[in-house]
Amino acid sequence: MKKAIRRPVLTQGLLAQLRLPLAELMRTTLLDTVITAGSIRAIQMLEEQREALCGPKHSQHEGRQAYRHGHSPGSLVMGGRRVTLPRPRGRSLEGQELELPAWKQWSVEDPLEERALEQMLLGVSTRGYSRSLEPLPVPLPERGKSRSAVSRRFVQGTQKQLAELLRGDLSGLKLAVLMIDGIHFEDHVVLAALGIDEGGQKHVLGLWEGATENARACKGLLEDLVGRGLVTDQALLVVLDGAKALHRAVRDVFGRHALIQRCQEHKQRNVADQLPESMRPSVRRAMKQAYESSDMKRALRLLENLAARLEREHPGAAASLREGLAETLTVIELGLTGRLRLTLRTSNPIENLFSSVRKVSKRVKRWRGGRMMLRWCAASVLDAKSRFRRVKGHAEMPKLVAALRVRIPAIVSSDSADREHRTNAVGAKRR
């Protein structure tokens, strides 16, 4: 007497869902219907593959290479959670477990990591994750929704994203612009590098964590970029907020092959901080007038005159204005106009990137070291990267590239000539 094979209870429940009257079925959520149908199809596909390997149920045909071996508990990811399903099993005639192709494919990746990343970046907490999911039909057991499970998957996902970002090959990029800035978390700072290629497309290049925005951390970031293929001997415009450590690190790594544009917004803010409230609007207007000039000499004259007027009553503001003055006018010196000039005169593109980081990370109550900060930054910037567009004024990028290629060689040649002249002068003096 043949032993009756028990039909999986879950399959019976799923089939019952499809036997509902049409009106009742339409009253269920779309997700319920889709997941129910998907679950049934998944079970059917697995059974079909087992039958192809083991033959039809109850068959004892000659020449078979395997036999059925019941079911074991299994699960698939559906709707952001792991749904329990029966896993059909089979064994070879030698007793070895058979791996069904469909099950192998579904088990390679864990879609829950991607779902956890999406939800966390949208502002859903680990506690609220389960509530963010649509309800499933009653017969479907589910797991993987606990706070610890979601947190674990978020950590795993952000670790992968951080590794992906830090391993990226930069050798094929033809950059015209490099922007560097830092975002602060408690007593740490995460430095980020944003590149703009010759076509105007933005690229997140790298991250670096340090205790402060000092020269060592800045140089560490740049050396990491160089180690991954970033070219240092081609013409480049580097936009900075004015931090001396960043300035020094850029000069150490790129030398005179980089022209520095100091952020005009930061300069206006720094000068205004040295002035009484009543004077700030007029000084800002005067600086803006200079920055809007199309003539380098005129812009310099306007700013020098402003510094001279401030010198007597507010020497701190005058000194702040004069510090790095010429570097705030690099975009004028290069002859840039229109929207591209407005884009590159400040560090706003990378500041906008940081706004995405702040929006996501503000919910973190406790930071557990620099590695955690890097993971959150990587997840945030890569999420923002998916929405990147070319910079405003990208049609003028060829003009910038051409100007850099003319200006940089002239500077380098001048420096070489000066060094040769000094060397010859020292030699003649010794003779």
In a domain, 138, yes or no: yes
In a domain, 168, yes or no: no
**HSE of 166, CA atoms in CB hemisphere, 13 A:** 19
* Main-chain dihedrals φ then ψ at residue 5, nearest 5 degrees: -90, 120
Are residues 253 and 146 located together in one domain of the fold?
no
**Among the listed residues 57, 72, 68, the one whose alpha carbon sits nearest the alpha carbon of residue 92:** 68
Are residues 252 and 154 located together in one domain of the fold?
no
Q: Which of 159, 182, 202 is the last residue before a domain boundary?
A: 159
In a domain, 212, yes or no: yes
In a domain, 221, yes or no: yes
Q: In the sheet where 236-240 sits, what is the strand order? A: 202-210, 188-197, 175-185, 236-240, 258-262
Q: Which of 159, 182, 216 is the last residue before a domain boundary?
A: 159
Are residues 336 and 399 located together in one domain of the fold?
yes
Are residues 230 and 334 located together in one domain of the fold?
yes
CA distance linking residue 181 with residue 243, whole number of Å: 9
* Main-chain dihedrals φ then ψ at residue 73, nearest 5 degrees: -60, 135
Length of the chain: 431
In a domain, 275, yes or no: yes
Domain region containing 255? 173-411
Question: Does the pLDDT at position 65 exceed 90?
Answer: no
Are residues 155 and 189 located together in one domain of the fold?
no
- Sign (positive/negative) of CA torsion 246, 248, 252, 255? positive
Question: Does the pLDDT at position 390 exceed 90?
Answer: yes
Least confident of 53-62, 156-165, 268-277: 53-62
Q: Which of 102, 125, 159 is the last residue before a domain boundary?
A: 159
The percent of residues above 90 in pLDDT, for the chain, comes to 37
Are residues 220 and 324 located together in one domain of the fold?
yes
Question: Does the pLDDT at position 106 exceed 60?
Answer: yes
In a domain, 14, yes or no: yes
Question: Distances in Å between the alpha carbon of 151 and those of 119, 120, 154?
Answer: 11, 9, 5
Question: What pLDDT does residue 96 have?
Answer: 77
Are residues 147 and 247 located together in one domain of the fold?
no
Are residues 346 and 369 located together in one domain of the fold?
yes
Question: What pLDDT does residue 70 have?
Answer: 78
Are residues 208 and 115 located together in one domain of the fold?
no
Are residues 315 and 237 located together in one domain of the fold?
yes
pLDDT in tens, 325-363: 999 999 999 999 999 999 999 999 999 988 888 887 777
Total of domains in the chain: 2
Per-residue pLDDT, averaged over 98-107, amounts to 71
In a domain, 17, yes or no: yes
Rounded to 10°, the helix 370-385/147-167 angle is 70
Are residues 261 and 328 located together in one domain of the fold?
yes
Question: Does the pLDDT at position 305 exceed 50?
Answer: yes
Question: Is residue 51 packed enough to be buried (19+ CB in 10 Å), middle (13-18) or exposed (0-12)?
Answer: middle
Identity of the residue numbered 217: A
Are residues 321 and 180 located together in one domain of the fold?
yes
Q: How confident is the model at residue 149 (pLDDT cuts 50, 70, 90)?
A: low
